[in-house]
C-alpha cells in the first residue's frame, strides 16, 4: 500500500528523507505543484491540512478550479495475451472493449474503494 494521506478529498503522497531527517509530501491530482514537509508525523498531517487549505484559498482568489480535469482517456500497457482475452470476453459479453474494461474497472474500484 502506498504512503498517502487524505484531507477534504485531496490526496498527498508521503516520503521520508533519511538525509534530511524529515517527511515530505506533494498534493496529487492537481495541475499545480504544492509540497509540504515536517519532522514528525503529527506535524506532517498539520502541514498537509494547511497546504490544502491554502491551495483552496489561492484557487478561490484566482477564480480557478482547484482540481485537475480528467478527460476519461488514458493509455494502458498490458500483456498482449491479456489484451486478447479481454477482447474475447468483451465480444462474448456483447460489449465493446472500452465498455467491457470500464465495467471491470468500476467493479474493481467499488470492491476496493
Q: Where in the sequence is the domain holding 92, given as residue range(s)?
A: 80-112
Residues 13 and 54 reside in one and the same domain: yes
Query: How many domains are there within the chain?
Result: 2
**Local confidence band at 67 (pLDDT 50, 70, 90 cut-offs):** confident
* 98 and 51 co-located in one domain: no
How confident is residue 46, by pLDDT bands cut at 50, 70 and 90?
A: very high
Q: Are residues 101 and 53 in the same domain?
A: no
Residue 73 placed within a domain: no
Q: The cell 502541514 sits on which residue?
A: 47
Predicted local distance difference test score (pLDDT) of residue 113:
56
12 neighbors 27 (Cβ within 8 angstroms): yes
In a domain, 94, yes or no: yes
The answer to whether residues 57 and 93 belong to one domain is no
Q: What is the C-alpha end-to-end distance of the chain, expressed in Å?
A: 13
Same domain, 57 and 89: no
Amino acid at each position: 500500500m502506498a504512503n498517502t494521506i487524505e484531507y477534504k478529498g485531496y490526496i498527498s503522497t508521503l516520503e521520508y528523507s533519511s538525509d534530511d531527517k524529515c517527511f515530505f509530501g506533494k498534493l496529487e491530482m492537481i495541475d499545480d505543484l504544492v509540497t509540504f514537509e515536517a519532522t514528525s508525523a503529527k506535524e506532517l498531517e498539520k502541514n498537509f491540512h494547511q497546504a490544502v487549505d491554502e491551495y483552496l484559498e489561492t484557487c478561490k482568489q484566482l477564480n480557478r478550479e482547484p482540481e485537475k480535469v480528467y478527460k476519461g482517456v488514458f493509455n494502458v500497457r498490458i500483456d498482449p495475451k491479456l489484451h486478447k482475452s479481454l477482447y474475447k470476453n468483451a465480444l462474448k459479453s456483447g460489449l465493446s472493449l472500452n465498455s467491457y474494461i470500464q465495467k471491470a474497472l468500476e467493479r474493481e474500484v467499488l470492491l476496493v474503494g
